[in-house]
Amino acid sequence: MLGKMPEVRVNGINIHYRVQGKGEPLVLIMGLGGECGDWVLQARAFKKYYRVITFDNRGVGKSDKPVEPYTVRTMADDTVGLMDHLGVDKAHVLGVSLGGMIAQEIAINYPERVRKLILVSTNAGREEKGEHSPELLKAMGLKEGVSDEDIRDVDIGRVMSSLNAHAFNSMVIKMVAVPFCSVRAKLFGIGGLKGQFEAAMTHSTLDRLHMIKSPTLVIAGTGDRIVPPRSADVLASRIPNARLVKIEGGSHTLVAEKRGKCNREVLDFLAH
């Protein structure tokens, strides 16, 4: 159990967070609908060597869920505001999925705040033609050519159910995780999820990736059915001197299903 998490007001909202371990700061940023507690398998391994900072993004968990539109840049500002509160001038930053998009924005807009950058199961947003990958749209139950207006009108409950069904490759984990995610969404409401979803779907760093100066590790699973592995190729090819690791059979949730391999890759990258 996480117990009671402290709360701080940053960027106009209340953010719940947790700090574990000692050493260089390591900020972990969760993806769409994910919460602080979802990092338990990473925090347990990383806190032996680093000061691990986890938190609930705006829109989920115990953090505020404002009704105005969200942007990935705003969520990056939230994260930097939390770092300011904690007195962290510079940190390693790891983001998964939507959290990886947020991490990219931090590295681009606050380059002096990022030591090393780790991007897991994520992409740069819209692809070359300004559209989303067919695999991503299929995983969301959406048709190709979806417009921004269509995105605003989606049934976020159906989208999340479809995403959860595609996120796990292990049937055993899926049998536990999918019902849990469904219950959690109902418990905390879907308003914030809609905000996060719209932020992710209207975002792109594709033409700014060259601005990232931090040493970068890109990790992808070859079995990711939400973000196609080729998205990792794009990130690694456009971020200067980025290192790419593909984990065989890894799903979109490889931080859980392939946690041993994933955690080792992260720790090795941070140590050298």
Q: Which residue matches tokens 């539109």?
A: 69
Q: Roughly how many angstroms between the first and final C-alpha of the chain, as a whole number?
A: 32
Neighbours of 143 (CB within 10 A): 10
What is the architecture of the domain spanning 7-271? 3-Layer(aba) Sandwich (3.40)
Q: What one-character DSSP code corresponds to residue 141?
A: T
Q: pLDDT confidence of 135, banded at 50, 70, 90?
A: very high
- What is residue 267's predicted lDDT score, i.e. its pLDDT? 98
User: Percent of the chain beyond pLDDT 90?
Assistant: 74
Q: How far is CA 137 from CA 72, 81, 99, 151, 159, in A?
A: 19, 32, 19, 11, 10
Strand (E) or helix (H) holding 264: helix 259-271
Is residue 252 a contact partner of residue 121, using CB atoms and an 8 Å limit? yes
List all residues 6 or more positions away from 171 whose beta carbon is below 8 Å from its beta carbon: none
CA–CA separation, 100 and 217 (whole Å): 11
Q: pLDDT confidence of 31, banded at 50, 70, 90?
A: very high
User: Percent of the chain beyond pLDDT 70?
Assistant: 92
Q: pLDDT confidence of 157, banded at 50, 70, 90?
A: confident
- What is residue 1's predicted lDDT score, i.e. its pLDDT? 39
- What is residue 66's predicted lDDT score, i.e. its pLDDT? 94
Residue 83 confidence (pLDDT) above 70: yes
Global confidence as pTM: 0.94
CA–CA separation, 30 and 57 (whole Å): 7
